[in-house]
Structure 1
Amino acid sequence: MSAPTPRALLLTTCLALACGDDSGGSASATMGGTTSTPPPTTGGEVPTGSSGMSQGTGSESDAAATTDEVAPTTSASATTTTSGGIKLDVGTVSDFGVGDCDCNTAAEFGYIWVANSPESTVSKIDTGTVQEVGRYLTRADAAGNPSRTSVSISGRAVAVANRHQGLVKIWANPEDCDPNNNGAPGLQTSSGAGDVLAWGEDDCVAWYTDFPGFTTQRPVAWAPGTFNEFTCRWENERLWTAGCGGGFAPGFGDGDPDVALVDGDTGEILQTLTLTGYGCNGFGPYGGAVDSTGNLWLTLNNGNLAFVDIETFAYVIHPKPANVQSYGMTVDSKDRVWVTSYSADNGVARYDPVTMTWDIITEIKQYSQSGIAQGADGRIWVAGSFANMGNLNGVAGIDPETLAVTTYLATTSNGKGVSVDGKGFIWRAGGNTASRVDPDDGTETNYSGLNAAYTYSDMTGFGVANVAGCQPAG
């Protein structure tokens, strides 16, 4: 790890002194495994148009993409750390020193990866042409019900988490694929939506890791890795995932969740940790994102935040304000955590781990639930149907410092997924449509060959590059 910045030192000091507590929904995280008292948490509110949990399949949406996940009623967890203590290098923005090498050497590949949940596939869409150029199974039995996708900072691979458990890595660049992977000579790989190869036949599927103890598994997030300036390559790329067992049906869990750190090259599970006191809340950990040094942030559907240190595996649980009903999440370039909220009175909230305080945006009311991402120009983007704009269906841009909502742009897609590509275009994906939107003038290009898509996460790799201080060139 690189040396802590003043921001990291401030955070460590704050934790040691339990400072930053106030009555506005702040969290007081203390050292040494002690417990703080969080604010009460309300039960899950059913957004307009939602029919609640799907008891049969455990998916956020059925084949018609009409059902939203709503968390069971829960109480906030107490703040907890492991007994070994915790060191938080939050805010340590990497200095890559790459000379003439581009930070993201594979940025020119320019793909967004969208999960087609009911058919257990993931679509690879060229962000330049807005055409699908590959579709891959995510589990052998085609019953994985995938949702979250995460692209590595190199842009070379995607990892897809199956809500019914299991993690798969797929290469983006055919040159990285193993032409002997399936035992037949030459490279066999998908060319698009109508060309899904049988399990084990696609040479670009790098590995699959089973998590037999899980009955639900949603978050997946690549850590930045290390840039080798001599080879112009990213190395030691690891990724996070989390889930729970004991569910009454696939897609649900009980008890406390487990977090796993996975070797990005081999799929080997390097280390696991049980987040004691961070109950599964039915769906298990809901969203995951990394900060600038690869530490993991998790959120529950209408639940608290959890932080896991990538080096020590120590963790802290940060209570949320009672009126924030959390859903999607991201981490911005200053290592602040953002969540969307489907509360009746607020739609977005920002958590600062240095001051341990929350700021809440009330102009947007997220009744429909949404993903969230930071754009190339710093704006924070969320999706929804915005009542204050005449029920405009689209995306809204938020100034990350003033919290003012600066931009509303219409989209054809009404999906939950929001992401940003290497050229700074905003993407919204869901149902059968992925929409690419120019944040400057609102012009839109669509691809409509998806199948009940349900994805919101770092679908392009821009998110991890952004927090690491290395925005891709596109």
Structure 2
Amino acid sequence: MRSSPRLRWRSTAVTLATLAAIHGCGDAGGSTTSDGSATQGTSPTGTAGTMTGTGTGTATETSGDVPTGTGTQGETQGTTTTAPTTTTPTGTTTATTTEGVTLTDTDGTATTATTTTTGGMKLDMGGPPVCPPDDQPVTFDYIWIANTTQGTVSKINTMTGVEEGRYYTNPVPGSGEPSRTSVNQFGDVAVSNRNPGSVTKVMALPEKCVDKNANGVIDTSTGPGDIRPWGQDECVLWHTTLPLADGYYGGARPTAWEGVAQDPVTCETPVPRLWVGYKDVNGVAHFARLEGDTGAILDDVQRPGWTTNTFGPYGGAVNSAGDLFVIGYDNEVSIRIDATTLEIEELGLSPGQYKYGMGVDQNGNMWVGSFSGTDHMYFYDPVAKQWQGMGNGGNNGGGALGIAVDDENRVWGAANGPCRLIELDGDTKTWTNQNITLPDCGSPWGVSIDNEGYVWVVDKANKAYKVDPDTYEIKLVVTGLVNPYTYSDMTGQGLKLVLPQ
């Protein structure tokens, strides 16, 4: 599995859209843009389930305090206001960026603060081109990490470790409890808020933002110390509220963009739609599909009697057809929603009870983390319609939370008890490393793959690690985050695994 010397992603490869749900956290709701205007969509009725229309690394951080507070399995609610820093574990040459952050690469080479990939085709369609290449600006150079108790999301350059923007995700500063971030095939992010339930879209590139005040420039955040007031950041495109049951426990959690291909006849690329799941006051699970440019709710697929406990739908990811796979948390509910018919398929019982982070590999199989029990990871084959437990991930007291799959079909888990990164060979279904050390790690939660193939682990102790998947060397540690309870497709590489060709 380590035949490639450095992480080498095929241009056609795409990481799976892991929208792993965060722990613990009607009818279709209205969509409200960041400037307060309402939008509505319409949709047909569905079958098999109700569908209604509304249509740089460090060994230390500037603050060693781990957030404290209430919540199940350590999920929120602490507060931290540490100033962000980015450092590296080794090296001799440093460079001070415009953010005031000193960066040093492990090979001693100073990094720069801005590196962005834009333009060019996003999909290798194969064969002779029929249409001119889709030249929409695109970037996968960022990881988007939610600062849960601050009510913001951080945009961090994965090559430099510099945080280039921070944005409120809810109209009331400090509210929303954002936890899931999902990146689409152009690099833009959707952030789901658990309480009050809502979803917000932020554009990654200024050239795609909207000059709302017509002053000829894009007014947007430049870093963690520059959080613009709600409605004044022109890269925050829209905000849609969702009618949850009781806020925190109802969601919203599962969040996943579909992947779309250029139409060979019209040469147009459809606007990707976004899936978001939550639960209403009657225990009905809703899976809303939103229009990607406006946030208007197009479809609302409903599954009554979602759970016997307090939590709503927990994690979600899509396959190449745009079908949404969804898992519950401490119950056995797992479903697949057909992207075309909107029919619901029940996936049956997994071998164990607790299911947490999840994602879909390039073959359309589902991988799910579990933080307790004999199996620390589960595999679901949608063709055979079978679940399989992967056994103990190296410690009886803790297992995998966030899950990510790379294009070599290595499955990575952010593991607790103790804090570590674990690795499983997805082809042979065997553990390849059950104890990859993360120095000074406090509480690992999310895991994601960046555009170069490095593995990122989000630590609730206000930092994130960038790890070489071949050598396990810590390349960067980014600090200054605020209770970063995030585990989902934070980079878009999960989606890239399953983009339609």
Q: Tell me if TM exceeds 0.5.
A: yes
Q: What is the rounded CA distance, in whole Å, between the counterparts of 1:449 and 1:198 in structure 2?
A: 20
Q: What is the rounded CA distance, in whole Å, between the counterparts of 1:137 and 1:372 in structure 2?
A: 26
Q: What is the rounded CA distance, in whole Å, between the counterparts of 1:103 and 1:363 in structure 2?
A: 45
Pairs aligned (count): 381
SS in 2 for 1:220: strand
1:305 aligns with 2:334: yes
2:185 aligned partner, one-letter code: I
1:242 aligns with 2:277: yes
Q: Answer whether contact 2:260 2:500 (CA < 8 A) is retained.
A: no
Q: 1:3 maps to what in 2?
A: none
Listed as ranges, the gaps of 5+ residues in structure 2 are 1-46, 50-67, 81-122
Q: Answer whether contact 2:357 2:369 (CA < 8 A) is retained.
A: yes
Give the deviation of 1:96 after TM superposition. 2.7
Give the deviation of 1:421 after TM superposition. 0.9
User: Could you say if the C-alpha distance between residues 368 and 358 of structure 1 is closer, same or farther in structure 2, counting changes exceeding 3 Å?
Assistant: closer
Residues 292-314 of structure 1, C-alpha deviations (whole Å, 9 max, x = no match): 11110111112321111111110
Q: 1:405 aligns with which of 421, 431, 437?
A: 431
Q: 2:454 aligns with which of 398, 401, 425?
A: 425
Residues 18-64 of structure 1, C-alpha deviations (whole Å, 9 max, x = no match): xxxxxxxxxxxxxx969xxxxxxxxxxxxxxxx99739xx9922116
Q: 2:480 maps to what in 1?
A: 449
**Mapping of residues 66-465 of structure 1, within 5 Å:** 96-97=125-126, 108-142=139-173, 143-155=175-187, 157-164=188-195, 165-179=197-211, 181-182=212-213, 184-214=215-245, 215=247, 216-227=251-262, 234-246=269-281, 255-279=283-307, 281-303=309-331, 304-321=333-350, 323-364=352-393, 365=395, 367=398, 369-385=400-416, 391=418, 393-407=419-433, 408-412=435-439, 413=441, 414-431=443-460, 432-444=462-474, 445-465=476-496
User: Could you say if the C-alpha distance between residues 105 and 397 of structure 1 is closer, same or farther in structure 2, counting changes exceeding 3 Å?
Assistant: farther
User: Could you say if the C-alpha distance between residues 183 and 427 of structure 1 is closer, same or farther in structure 2, counting changes exceeding 3 Å?
Assistant: same
SS in 1 for 2:186: coil
Q: What is the rounded CA distance, in whole Å, between the counterparts of 2:158 and 2:124 in structure 1?
A: 28
Q: Answer whether contact 2:371 2:415 (CA < 8 A) is retained.
A: no
TM-score normalised according to structure 1 size: 0.74
Q: 2:114 maps to what in 1?
A: none
Q: Answer whether contact 2:314 2:326 (CA < 8 A) is retained.
A: yes
Give the deviation of 1:280 after TM superposition. 7.0
Q: What is the rounded CA distance, in whole Å, between the counterparts of 1:276 and 1:149 in structure 2?
A: 26
Q: What is the rounded CA distance, in whole Å, between the counterparts of 1:424 and 1:148 in structure 2?
A: 21
Q: What is the rounded CA distance, in whole Å, between the counterparts of 1:342 and 1:63 in structure 2?
A: 21
Provide the alpha-carbon RMSD of the alignment: 3.0
User: Could you say if the C-alpha distance between residues 154 and 280 of structure 1 is closer, same or farther in structure 2, counting changes exceeding 3 Å?
Assistant: farther
Report which structure shows greater RCO (CA 8 Å, sep ≥6).
2
Q: 2:71 maps to what in 1?
A: 54
Q: What is the rounded CA distance, in whole Å, between the counterparts of 1:219 and 1:196 in structure 2?
A: 26
Give the deviation of 1:468 after TM superposition. 2.3
Q: Answer whether contact 2:351 2:388 (CA < 8 A) is retained.
A: no
Q: Answer whether contact 2:285 2:305 (CA < 8 A) is retained.
A: no
Give the deviation of 1:102 after TM superposition. 8.3
Q: What is the rounded CA distance, in whole Å, between the counterparts of 1:436 and 1:196 in structure 2?
A: 25
SS in 1 for 2:171: coil
Q: What is the rounded CA distance, in whole Å, between the counterparts of 2:438 and 2:265 in structure 1?
A: 43
User: Could you say if the C-alpha distance between residues 102 and 449 of structure 1 is closer, same or farther in structure 2, counting changes exceeding 3 Å?
Assistant: farther
1:411 aligned partner, one-letter code: L
Give the deviation of 1:457 after TM superposition. 0.6
Q: Answer whether contact 2:275 2:287 (CA < 8 A) is retained.
A: yes
SS in 1 for 2:219: coil
TM-score normalised according to structure 2 size: 0.70
2:208 aligned partner, one-letter code: D
2:209 aligned partner, one-letter code: C
1:316 aligned partner, one-letter code: E
Residues 413-438 of structure 1, C-alpha deviations (whole Å, 9 max, x = no match): 44210000111000001321011111
Bigger mean CA offset, 203-212 vs 220-229: 220-229
Give the deviation of 1:265 after TM superposition. 1.1
Q: What is the rounded CA distance, in whole Å, between the counterparts of 1:336 and 1:286 in structure 2?
A: 18
User: Could you say if the C-alpha distance between residues 190 and 52 of structure 1 is closer, same or farther in structure 2, counting changes exceeding 3 Å?
Assistant: closer
Residues 263-288 of structure 1, C-alpha deviations (whole Å, 9 max, x = no match): 11111100102112322731211111
2:468 aligned partner, one-letter code: D
SS in 2 for 1:464: helix
User: Could you say if the C-alpha distance between residues 454 and 255 of structure 1 is closer, same or farther in structure 2, counting changes exceeding 3 Å?
Assistant: same
Q: Answer whether contact 1:324 1:342 (CA < 8 A) is retained.
A: no
SS in 1 for 2:284: strand
1:381 aligned partner, one-letter code: W
Percent same amino acid at aligned positions? 35
Give the deviation of 1:186 after TM superposition. 2.0
User: Could you say if the C-alpha distance between residues 102 and 52 of structure 1 is closer, same or farther in structure 2, counting changes exceeding 3 Å?
Assistant: farther
Q: Answer whether contact 1:415 1:454 (CA < 8 A) is retained.
A: no
Bigger mean CA offset, 315-324 vs 191-200: 315-324
